[in-house]
Amino acid sequence: MQPVSPELRARVDRLLTRGKTYDQIAKAIGRTKNAVAGIVYRNRNPRPKRVPFRPDLDISLVSDLPPHEARYILAVTLNLGISETARRVGRTPPTIAHSCHLIEDKRDDYAYDQYLEAVEADKIRQAGPETGPTGKVQN
Protein backbone atom coordinates (compact mmCIF):
# COMPACT_ATOMS: atom_id res chain seq x y z
CA MET A 1 0.00 0.00 0.00
CA GLN A 2 1.34 3.38 -0.98
CA PRO A 3 1.74 6.03 1.71
CA VAL A 4 -1.07 8.55 1.84
CA SER A 5 -0.30 12.22 2.36
CA PRO A 6 -2.54 14.48 4.44
CA GLU A 7 -3.27 16.45 1.27
CA LEU A 8 -4.55 13.33 -0.48
CA ARG A 9 -6.71 12.45 2.52
CA ALA A 10 -8.20 15.95 2.46
CA ARG A 11 -8.82 15.72 -1.28
CA VAL A 12 -10.64 12.40 -0.87
CA ASP A 13 -12.78 13.92 1.91
CA ARG A 14 -13.66 16.91 -0.30
CA LEU A 15 -14.65 14.64 -3.19
CA LEU A 16 -16.80 12.54 -0.84
CA THR A 17 -18.61 15.58 0.48
CA ARG A 18 -19.40 16.55 -3.14
CA GLY A 19 -21.19 13.21 -3.56
CA LYS A 20 -18.59 11.46 -5.70
CA THR A 21 -18.52 7.65 -5.72
CA TYR A 22 -15.45 5.59 -4.84
CA ASP A 23 -14.99 4.79 -8.54
CA GLN A 24 -15.04 8.49 -9.48
CA ILE A 25 -12.63 9.35 -6.65
CA ALA A 26 -10.28 6.52 -7.62
CA LYS A 27 -10.17 7.81 -11.19
CA ALA A 28 -9.58 11.39 -10.03
CA ILE A 29 -6.67 10.55 -7.72
CA GLY A 30 -5.14 7.72 -9.74
CA ARG A 31 -5.65 4.97 -7.17
CA THR A 32 -7.79 1.83 -7.02
CA LYS A 33 -11.27 1.72 -5.55
CA ASN A 34 -9.93 -0.41 -2.66
CA ALA A 35 -7.23 2.18 -1.95
CA VAL A 36 -9.89 4.87 -1.76
CA ALA A 37 -11.91 2.72 0.66
CA GLY A 38 -8.79 2.33 2.82
CA ILE A 39 -8.18 6.08 2.87
CA VAL A 40 -11.81 6.75 3.83
CA TYR A 41 -11.70 4.07 6.56
CA ARG A 42 -8.49 5.44 8.08
CA ASN A 43 -9.83 9.00 7.96
CA ARG A 44 -12.86 7.89 9.98
CA ASN A 45 -11.03 5.43 12.25
CA PRO A 46 -7.56 6.74 13.07
CA ARG A 47 -5.14 4.42 14.82
CA PRO A 48 -5.06 4.84 18.58
CA LYS A 49 -2.12 6.75 20.00
CA ARG A 50 0.44 4.57 21.77
CA VAL A 51 0.66 4.88 25.50
CA PRO A 52 4.03 6.47 26.36
CA PHE A 53 6.56 4.12 27.92
CA ARG A 54 7.02 4.62 31.65
CA PRO A 55 10.52 3.42 32.61
CA ASP A 56 9.99 4.40 36.25
CA LEU A 57 7.52 1.52 36.80
CA ASP A 58 9.00 -1.78 37.92
CA ILE A 59 7.78 -4.58 35.69
CA SER A 60 10.98 -6.61 36.01
CA LEU A 61 8.97 -9.40 37.63
CA VAL A 62 7.94 -10.61 34.17
CA SER A 63 10.89 -9.37 32.11
CA ASP A 64 12.18 -12.92 31.66
CA LEU A 65 9.00 -14.05 29.86
CA PRO A 66 7.95 -13.72 26.22
CA PRO A 67 5.89 -10.53 25.69
CA HIS A 68 2.46 -12.16 25.38
CA GLU A 69 2.98 -14.26 28.49
CA ALA A 70 4.32 -11.29 30.44
CA ARG A 71 1.28 -9.19 29.57
CA TYR A 72 -1.06 -12.06 30.48
CA ILE A 73 0.63 -12.62 33.85
CA LEU A 74 0.41 -8.92 34.72
CA ALA A 75 -3.18 -8.43 33.56
CA VAL A 76 -4.76 -11.70 34.70
CA THR A 77 -2.63 -13.55 37.23
CA LEU A 78 -1.43 -10.52 39.18
CA ASN A 79 -4.83 -8.87 38.66
CA LEU A 80 -3.59 -5.52 37.35
CA GLY A 81 -6.24 -5.39 34.67
CA ILE A 82 -5.87 -4.51 31.02
CA SER A 83 -5.71 -0.72 31.35
CA GLU A 84 -3.15 -0.70 34.16
CA THR A 85 -1.01 -3.32 32.40
CA ALA A 86 -1.13 -1.26 29.19
CA ARG A 87 -0.02 1.83 31.10
CA ARG A 88 2.86 0.00 32.78
CA VAL A 89 4.25 -1.75 29.70
CA GLY A 90 3.71 1.12 27.28
CA ARG A 91 1.18 -0.55 25.00
CA THR A 92 -2.46 0.10 24.18
CA PRO A 93 -5.27 -1.78 25.97
CA PRO A 94 -6.28 -3.62 22.75
CA THR A 95 -2.71 -4.96 22.49
CA ILE A 96 -2.92 -6.31 26.05
CA ALA A 97 -6.35 -7.82 25.40
CA HIS A 98 -4.99 -9.48 22.24
CA SER A 99 -2.12 -10.99 24.23
CA CYS A 100 -4.55 -12.32 26.85
CA HIS A 101 -6.75 -13.88 24.15
CA LEU A 102 -3.75 -15.57 22.54
CA ILE A 103 -2.62 -17.06 25.84
CA GLU A 104 -6.15 -18.20 26.74
CA ASP A 105 -6.35 -19.98 23.37
CA LYS A 106 -2.97 -21.63 23.94
CA ARG A 107 -4.12 -22.88 27.36
CA ASP A 108 -6.39 -25.39 25.59
CA ASP A 109 -3.20 -27.43 25.18
CA TYR A 110 -2.73 -29.39 28.43
CA ALA A 111 1.09 -29.25 28.38
CA TYR A 112 1.12 -25.49 27.85
CA ASP A 113 -1.50 -25.02 30.56
CA GLN A 114 0.67 -26.94 33.04
CA TYR A 115 3.70 -24.86 32.08
CA LEU A 116 1.78 -21.61 32.52
CA GLU A 117 0.34 -22.71 35.88
CA ALA A 118 3.90 -23.26 37.12
CA VAL A 119 4.96 -19.84 35.80
CA GLU A 120 1.92 -18.21 37.44
CA ALA A 121 2.67 -19.86 40.79
CA ASP A 122 6.29 -18.71 40.57
CA LYS A 123 5.33 -15.10 39.73
CA ILE A 124 2.75 -15.00 42.54
CA ARG A 125 5.43 -16.24 44.94
CA GLN A 126 7.86 -13.57 43.67
CA ALA A 127 5.22 -10.84 43.96
CA GLY A 128 5.09 -11.36 47.71
CA PRO A 129 2.82 -12.73 50.40
CA GLU A 130 0.14 -10.08 49.83
CA THR A 131 -1.02 -11.81 46.61
CA GLY A 132 -3.14 -14.92 46.55
CA PRO A 133 -3.69 -17.59 43.91
CA THR A 134 -5.63 -15.16 41.70
CA GLY A 135 -3.19 -12.33 42.34
CA LYS A 136 -5.75 -10.49 44.47
CA VAL A 137 -4.65 -8.84 47.67
CA GLN A 138 -5.45 -10.99 50.69
CA ASN A 139 -7.05 -9.35 53.75
Instruction: List pLDDT tens digits, range 42-75.
Output: 666 555 554 444 344 457 778 888 889 999 988 8
**What pTM was computed for the model?**
0.53
Single-letter code of the amino acid located at 138: Q
Instruction: List pLDDT tens digits, range 74-96.
Output: 888 878 889 888 988 889 999 99
Phi and psi at 57, nearest 5°, equal -90, 135
Task: Please name the residues in contact with 64: beta carbons below 8 A apart, sequence gap of 6 or more.
Answer: none
Tell me if 106 sits within 8 A of 112, measured CB to CB: yes
- Which residues is 137 bridged to in the sheet? 131
